[in-house]
A and B are shown apart, each in its own frame.
Chain A
Amino acid sequence: DTGVSQDPRHKITKRGQNVTFRCDPISEHNRLYWYRQTLGQGPEFLTYFQNEAQLEKSRLLSDRFSAERPKGSFSTLEIQRTEQGDSAMYLCASSLNGEAFFGQGTRLTVV
């Protein structure tokens, strides 16, 4: 499978714990995006990488959130001190030209 891969698919965590998600983009794609989606809403932009450089961050990305893309390959999204409001689907996408291809997402539930 040469599509975008995300791990884990599901994560249940207690409030206050830290969680980390991983995204492996399509191999030749230099752009990588993180989005968050809640029920009944479209995906909301969190952050964007071109190669290893983080070029854009949304105001949604509070200081509890951090993302990295070492060596311009896979990316990680970490949420520290999780809150119940962080419960959502976290989507990763990669792009080479105009369009973006999404992974299956990581569904986070904070209890």
Chain B
Amino acid sequence: QKEVEQDPGPLSVPEGAIVSLNCTYSNSAFQYFMWYRQYSRKGPELLMYTYSSGNKEDGRFTAQVDKSSKYISLFIRDSQPSDSATYLCAMRERDNYGQNFVFGPGTRLSVLP
């Protein structure tokens, strides 16, 4: 079992739909949680960053972390064709433990006009 699991998709939705992207993980030491957006042949772009449990909202994006279930989610409201990309979740342990970021395999999202 991989440390971070993510449905690879691809996921296709119509423009304006609400998109839900999810990751599960096995390491209870993860404390920092991130979502990245990656366009083809580009580097990952940080979208959302959450420390420990809870929700965070930024515009059309909402990130949720449920540490008790080892489950994180990214919601995209009013999805746009420009949201078409691969979405990567990433996690890191708390300071003074493992310092590297562990990524899921990514979910490919297509938003159709």
Contact = CB atoms under 8 A, between A and B. Distances in A.
Contact of B99 (A35, A40, A43, A48): A48
A41 interface: yes
Given A43-B88, A91-B43, A98 B32 contact: yes
Contacts of A91: 43-44
Contacts of B45: 102
Contact of A45 (B32, B88, B100): B100
Q: Choose among A31, A40, A56, A98 the residue with the greatest number of B CB atoms under 10 Å from its CB.
A: A98
Given A40-B105, A42-B104, A100 B99 contact: no
Interface size class of B (residues with CB under 8 A): 20 to 34
Interface residues of A, number: 28
A107 interface: yes
Contacts of A105: 42-43
Interface in B44-77: 44-46, 49, 51
A99 B46 contact: yes
A33 B46 CA distance: 15
A104 B46 contact: no
Contacts of A43: 44, 88, 101, 103
Q: Choose among A40, A42, A43 the residue with the greatest number of B CB atoms under 10 Å from its CB.
A: A42
Contacts of A56: 98-100
20 contacts: A6-B43, A40-B106, A42-B105, A43-B101, A43-B103, A45-B100, A45-B101, A45-B102, A48-B100, A55-B99, A56-B99, A89-B41, A98-B31, A99-B32, A100-B90, A100-B101, A102-B44, A102-B46, A103-B43, A104-B43
Interface of B: 4, 6, 8, 31-32, 34, 36, 41-46, 49, 51, 88, 90, 92, 98-106
Interface of A: 4, 6, 31, 33, 35, 40-45, 48, 50, 55-56, 58, 89, 91, 93, 98-105, 107
